[in-house]
Amino acid sequence: MQVKKQLLGLQPYQPGKPIEEVKKQFNLTKVVKLASNENPYGCSPKAKQAIMDELDQLAIYPDGYSASLRTRVAKHVNVNEEELIFGNGSDEVVQIICRALLNPEKNTVMATPTFPQYKHNAVIEGAEVREVPLVNGDHNLDEMIGKIDENTTVVWVCTPNNPTGTYVTSDNLLNFLTKVPKHVLVVVDEAYYEYVLAEDYPDTVSLLNEHSNLMILRTFSKAYGLASLRIGFGIANAELIRKIEPAREPFNTSRVAQAAAIASLDDPDFVADCREKNKKGLKQFYEFCENLNLDYYPSEGNFILIDFNRDSDEVFQALLEKGYIVRSGNALGFPTHLRITVGSEIQNNEIIEILKDFVQ
């Protein structure tokens, strides 16, 4: 069996270790996963109710156009319904963009390290990947402009960036958009949008009218706490959406996911509360780092990248044995760092106590 040659060098996605596996391996009764930027507070009770209300409909295919959700999201982000595309997670929107715009004659520009799915999907399409190293955790937007040529079709801006948590300011994004040629799609991945507190974070949606080559990605997986239902969306001008829609599977988002997403938009208090708690949680980690003189990146997401000045797998392993699953920086391009998802206040205190013992 001959698979496409692009697949030969790729690994399937390596997720954070599952809780059940770690319980068994280390004979633990309690295991906490702070590895995948999941919401420690779950999701809105309204979303749970909406899911139950769908249970009698499971035999029926979902609405492939996500019409009800479309109407609700259009109102929420203040765009036209034709300016939205829904995906089985924003991961799938990344895949749709790559299917639609990349091939072996094209190239794509992105930061490194950044969210790995941009590169992964680009490689599958056979496109050339041009990576520009972060500078102090930030996108080097000028260098990225320099990498664009007539064969570039997509550039990726992840803000807040996973895994650093840093963001692109409004001025910098505007400046970047005015410099990128119109034949290049700029994808701004705002997966952590709901957590952001920085005042100079851009109102990216307001830039869509002026920039026909802009696409924004959002998700219900993070602050809305619906990661397991797989639902996210892209926002862009209607013509672009129409052009890429054929690359989307017909029933790519489930009935349950659509209903839960609608209900969670009707509970803004839940998200606001999560944002507030996340802010306090980040503060716990900042204080810990400052007390122990550890470098970290100030984060606008629900995770923090901390430099432990040693092989990150060692620290990862020490935490794992105590029942805390985090992300080792080795797999993320930061071999001495850990990426830790901000948990509940108690979880944060517990992991910080373990880390203090380990570092001191």
Ligand X SMILES: *Cc1c(COP(=O)(O)O)cnc(C)c1O
The residues that touch ligand X, with contacts defined as CB under 6 A, are: 37, 89-91, 115, 158, 162, 189, 191, 219, 221, 227, 232
Q: What is the nearest approach in angstroms of ligand X to the Cβ of residue 151? A: 25
Q: What is the nearest approach in angstroms of ligand X to the Cβ of residue 267? A: 19
What number of residues does the chain have? Answer: 360
Q: Which one, 152 or 219, has the nearer CB to ligand X? A: 219
Q: Which one, 152 or 161, has the nearer CB to ligand X? A: 161
CA distance 105 to 120: 17
Q: Which one, 165 or 323, has the nearer CB to ligand X? A: 165
Query: Of 208, 219, 69, 103, which Cα lies nearest the Cα of 158?
Result: 219
Q: What is the nearest approach in angstroms of ligand X to the Cβ of residue 24? A: 26
CA distance 140 to 245: 31
Cα 333 to Cα 42, 162, 175, distances in angstroms: 29, 11, 28
Q: Which one, 112 or 349, has the nearer CB to ligand X? A: 112
Cβ–Cβ under 8 Å, residues 164 and 137: yes
What is the residue type of 331?
A
Q: Which one, 221 or 348, has the nearer CB to ligand X? A: 221
Q: What is the nearest approach in angstroms of ligand X to the Cβ of residue 5? A: 27
Phi/psi of residue 214, nearest 5 degrees: -110, 135
Cβ–Cβ under 8 Å, residues 340 and 326: yes
Phi/psi of residue 94, nearest 5 degrees: -60, -45
Query: Of 136, 147, 131, 202, which Cα lies nearest the Cα of 172?
Result: 202
Q: What is the nearest approach in angstroms of ligand X to the Cβ of residue 309? A: 25
Q: Which one, 227 or 318, has the nearer CB to ligand X? A: 227
Q: Which one, 130 or 339, has the nearer CB to ligand X? A: 339
Q: What is the nearest approach in angstroms of ligand X to the Cβ of residue 115? A: 4
Q: What is the nearest approach in angstroms of ligand X to the Cβ of residue 311? A: 24
Q: What is the nearest approach in angstroms of ligand X to the Cβ of residue 12? A: 15
Cβ–Cβ under 8 Å, residues 98 and 154: yes
DSSP state of 26: H
Query: Of 33, 26, 1, which Cα lies nearest the Cα of 228?
Result: 33
Query: Of 198, 236, 199, which Cα lies nearest the Cα of 77?
Result: 236
Give residue number: closest CB to ligand X.
89
Q: Pairing mode, if any, of strands 327-328 and 337-341?
A: antiparallel
Q: Which one, 111 or 322, has the nearer CB to ligand X? A: 111
Q: Which one, 162 or 252, has the nearer CB to ligand X? A: 162
Q: What is the nearest approach in angstroms of ligand X to the Cβ of residue 14? A: 14
CA distance 153 to 176: 15
CA distance 108 to 99: 12
